[in-house]
């Protein structure tokens, strides 16, 4: 290929890329931006027309953002909630994975606890709060316990599903090479249930976040949920709403992170209904 034809083909590629980008702009980005603007405008208009002045609306919330994100109270609250969610999730992940693997690979263990796991999963997590606050007092322990309770069952259920669906041949090959149970569990069952585990984590993270906020509402322990509650009670709705935005951002980034990880590390796995 001579240099001139190469340049020509590069130019064609560039032109095609340019066309693709402008096509994407027209069909994807534009509708999204316009819809966003429309939502913001409608919200602003409705609140200005109908609601009292303290109610959060886009302009005042945006004005509050620079003030709030440097406020040490807000930063401490965010840190406290995130630390609790992370701690609870890690605990739920460790124990949930162990219990899930055992459930998936041991029929007798599964028969024993299946109904309890499904039952606890179906209990709206919020009802345990009064009980936990009696047991653990009005402290951070109650929050961690609520987060673990909210998160662990979706991990157990998904990991057990994954462990059950390991192709039989893998295990047979491993067995004929005389590998022991533990190395089969860690070497075959765990890696092959990874996509399920990730789906479980995606669910668990969302539930953990809800658990943390609800616990903070209920027992008034310092954190983002309590920050929102406190500020909205004292008619600082704009400040409180910045907290809601941050929570939404956490929720969305968990979701995106897990989706990205699934695509990046397990491209063969199509995300489907095995997510709840």
Give the gyration radius of the chain's Cα atoms. 25
Q: Is 220 in the site for other proteins (CB under 8 A)?
A: no
Instruction: Pick the piece of the chain touching other proteins (CB under 8 A) from 57-65, 99-107, 192-200, 241-249.
Output: 241-249
Which of 243, 246, 252, 253 lies closest to 56 in space, CA to CA? 243
Show Cβ contacts of residue 216 under 8 Å, excluding neighbours closer than 6 positions: 81, 143, 222, 223, 224, 225, 226, 229
Residue 221's H or E segment, with its range, is none
Among 109, 120, 136, 269, interactor with other proteins by CB under 8 A: 120
Q: Is 51 in the site for other proteins (CB under 8 A)?
A: yes
Minimum gap (Å) between residue 19 Cβ and other proteins: 19
Question: Which is closer to other proteins, CB of 61 or CB of 190?
Answer: 61
Among 123, 137, 181, 263, interactor with other proteins by CB under 8 A: 123
Among 218, 219, 239, 262, interactor with other proteins by CB under 8 A: 218
| CA–CA separation, 152 and 94 (whole Å) | 9
Among 65, 82, 185, 244, interactor with other proteins by CB under 8 A: 244
Residue 21-40 contact track with other proteins, rule CB under 8 A, x = bound: ------xx--xx-xxx--x-
C-beta contacts of 70-78 below 8 A and 24+ residues apart: 73/227, 74/227, 74/239, 74/242, 74/243, 76/222, 77/222, 77/223, 77/224, 77/226, 77/227, 77/243, 78/223, 78/224, 78/246
Q: Is 62 in the site for other proteins (CB under 8 A)?
A: no
Q: Is 241 in the site for other proteins (CB under 8 A)?
A: yes
Q: How many CB atoms lie within 10 A of CB 40?
A: 15
Question: Which is closer to other proteins, CB of 126 or CB of 185?
Answer: 126
| CA–CA separation, 159 and 199 (whole Å) | 9
Residues that bind other proteins (CB under 8 A): 27-28, 31-32, 34-36, 39, 51, 55-56, 118-131, 133-134, 206, 209-210, 213-214, 217-218, 225, 228-229, 232-233, 235, 237, 240-241, 243-244, 247-248, 251-252, 254-255, 273, 276
């Amino acid at each position: 290929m001579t240099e001139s034809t190469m340049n020509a083909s590069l130019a064609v590629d560039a032109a095609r890329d340019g066309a693709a980008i402008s096509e994407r702009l027209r069909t994807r980005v534009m509708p999204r931006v316009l819809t966003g603007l429309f939502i913001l405008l409608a919200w602003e208009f409705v609140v200005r027309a109908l609601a009292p002045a303290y109610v959060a609306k886009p302009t005042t919330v945006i004005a509050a953002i620079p003030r709030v994100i440097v406020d040490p109270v807000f930063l401490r609250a965010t840190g406290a909630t995130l630390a609790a969610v992370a701690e609870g999730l890690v605990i739920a992940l460790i124990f949930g994975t162990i219990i899930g693997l055992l459930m998936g690979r041991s029929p007798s263990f599964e028969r024993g606890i299946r109904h309890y796991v499904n039952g606890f999963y179906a209990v709206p997590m919020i009802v345990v709060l009064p009980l936990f606050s009696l047991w653990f007092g009005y402290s951070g322990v109650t929050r961690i316990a609520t987060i673990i309770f909210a998160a662990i069952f979706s991990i157990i259920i998904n990991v057990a599903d994954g462990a059950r669906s390991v192709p039989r041949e893998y295990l047979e090959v491993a067995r004929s090479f005389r590998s022991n149970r533990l190395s089969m569990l860690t070497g075959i069952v765990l890696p092959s249930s990874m996509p399920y585990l990730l789906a479980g984590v995606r669910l668990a993270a969302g539930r953990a976040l809800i658990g943390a906020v609800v616990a903070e509402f209920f027992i008034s322990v310092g954190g983002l949920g309590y920050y929102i509650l406190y500020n909205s009670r004292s008619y600082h709705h704009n400040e409180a709403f910045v907290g809601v935005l941050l929570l939404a951002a956490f929720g969305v980034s968990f979701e995106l992170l897990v989706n990205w990880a699934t695509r990046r590390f397990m491209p063969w796995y199509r995300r489907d209904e095995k997510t709840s």
